Structure 1
Amino acid sequence: MKIQYYKQYSPALNRDMEWKVYGHAGRPVLYIPCQNGRFFDFENFNMTDTWAPWIDSGEVMVFSIDTIDQETWSNKEGDPRWRICRYEDWIRYITDEMVPFMQQMANECNGWDGYPGILVFGCSLGATHAANLYFRRPDLFDRLLALSGIYTAEYGFDSYMDDLVYNNSPVHYLANMPTDHPYIEMYNQCKAAICVGLGAWELPDSTRHLQSILQNKGINAWVDYWGMDCYHDWIWWYKQVTYFVPYLLS
């Protein structure tokens, strides 16, 4: 498996950011780590082994990035307006800096003039961020794999609400999206798999809430609930990746 390490200055975040790329060709996949996670978690938690069949075959290239959760969603003692502004900086880092980098690398490695879009993937709070990116920017992200996520910004910001928190809380902005909004047609041309277990440390009610909104808006997504034995941990996320990725890549 080809593995490349990068460290570059981010204008959006005013700091150096690190990431790794796994693979030599294929559809670009953006991996967002779990809460407070780092870019090397994809490898250190052996998610590389689960994705290896698609990476080694040249079907995907996985770009594993850093979060800044410790400054934003996890920083409950910090000023909420500052924290959500900082989170918006991170969103801009992804959309304005990482996405063009991914586009260019995918085109160069595959010999493409264009590419089929980015699959965004995460587990736990990484799934929260992944879903937010997918629903906010279907022009950039046309596939979603969200495992054991929470789809309200209340997880990070409690009862605080402003314009930016609203814009980063899928159950809020999707609930108010007009049924003729052009994004709905875009979502329905994409593929999303959203999964949660019913076992220990899982919070399936958030997924149920999101599913209800999606159904009411006519937004297609594969929402799946696994059993009471399925708990909030890597062993189950490996199984879910193996189950859903063939659908997302088809």
Structure 2
Amino acid sequence: MQEVYRPFYSRTLGHDVEMLVFGDMGYPIVIFPTSRGRYYEAKDFKLTEAARWFVENHKVKLYCIDSVDAHTWYAKHLHPAERVQNHMRYDQMIGQELVPMLQRECHVDKIGVAGCSFGGYQALNFAFRHPEQVAYLFAMGAAYDMSQFVDGYYDENFYYNNPPSYMPDAQNEHFYQMKIVLGTAEDDFCKPSTLQMSDILNRKGIRHWLDIRPGTHDWPVWRDMFPHYLSQM
């Protein structure tokens, strides 16, 4: 399976963003890491290996992007407003720099996004904030309410990056074109959040697959989920 280390300079963030790319052609899927995870995490925990057949048969091309969690939601040394603003710069980098690069490289109008645990939040939040850029969303074992990270702080920027807050009133025709999977496990502590998000989508008439499997909040469950979801593309 072809693997390439491809850092790129982000004008938005003002520094290099590290990335591993698997495959030489196929539909682009951006994989976000878990809490404070790095760009090599999906490789280390064999999530990319679980998708080997799809990569080697040119079905998908995986882009494992780095996180900036230490400067955003997990930056307890910063004021909550600054944490959210830093996250918004990361969101801007993905939408205005990474996605256009993948659109040109893979000759697509939209991309796919995926992530496990906190990466699932990143994937879902980006997809729902920018549905015109995303065709496939695979969120696994994720929680979507960011209130726990801001110490009671609340402003407009937080609202628009907290999916349970903004999604009930969000309107966009692209929501109804997106292929959405919300995956969780019976004993996953994030299961209630996944059920809440599924209920929000149901009330809006947004089609999605709520996939609840045996197991807990851990990589073996996500390694089973990911190739199954890719097979449904």
Q: What TM-score bracket applies, with the shorter chain setting the length? A: over 0.9
Matched, 1:209 2:196: yes
Judge conservation of contact 2:103–2:109 (CA < 8 Å) in 1. Answer: no
Identical positions, percent: 29
CA distance in 1, matches of 2:55, 2:148: 33
Give yes or no for contact 1:29–1:60 (8 Å, CA) kept in 2: yes
| In structure 1, C-alpha distance between the alignment counterparts of 2:180 and 2:161, rounded to whole Å | 18
Match of 2:112 in 1: 119
Partners of 2:27 and 2:34 in 1: CA distance: 22
Does 2:231 correspond to 1:243?
no
Deviation at 1:116, TM superposition (A): 5.1
Shifted more, 126-135 versus 116-125: the winner is 116-125
Contact residue 35 and residue 125 of structure 1 kept, 8 A = yes
Q: What displacement does 1:158 show? A: 4.0
Which residue is 2:82 aligned to?
82
Structure 2 partner of 1:193: 181
Counterpart contact for 2:109–2:133, Cα < 8 Å: no
Map 1:149-228; keep pairs closer than 5 Å. 149-177=142-170, 181=171, 183=172, 185-199=173-187, 201-227=188-214
Shift of 1:44: 1.4
**Corresponding residue of 1:97:** 97
Q: Which runs of 5+ in 1 are unaligned?
A: 108-114
* Preserved contact between residue 27 and residue 116 of structure 1 (Cα < 8 Å): no
Question: Structure 1, residues 35-61: CA drift from partner, whole Å, max 9, x if none?
Answer: 101111121111121010100000110
CA distance in 2, matches of 1:29, 1:231: 25
Task: Report SS of the residue matched to 1:159.
Answer: coil
Cα shift at 1:160: 1.5
1:12/1:93 contact within 8 Å kept: yes
Amino acid at match of 2:29: V
Letter in 1 for 2:178: C
Which residue number in structure 1 is paired with residue 129 of structure 2?
136
Shift of 1:202: 2.3
Cα deviation digits, residues 139-181 of structure 1 (max 9, x gap): 111100000111112132242211111111111101223xxx3
Question: What is the CA–CA distance in structure 2 between the aligned matches of 1:63 and 1:42, rounded to whole Å?
Answer: 10
1:5-64 deviation line (CA, Å, top 9, x unaligned): 122221111111111111011100000011101111121111121010100000110011
CA distance in structure 2 between the aligned counterparts of 1:221 and 1:6, rounded to whole angstroms: 33
The residue aligned with 2:11 is 11
Root-mean-square deviation (Å):
1.3
Q: For 1:46 and 1:155, how far apart are their aligned partners in 2?
A: 29
CA distance in 1: counterparts of 2:115 and 2:32, whole angstroms: 5
Aligned to 1:32: 32
Is the 8 Å Cα contact of residues 120 and 145 (structure 1) preserved in structure 2?
A: yes
Partner residue, 2:21? 21
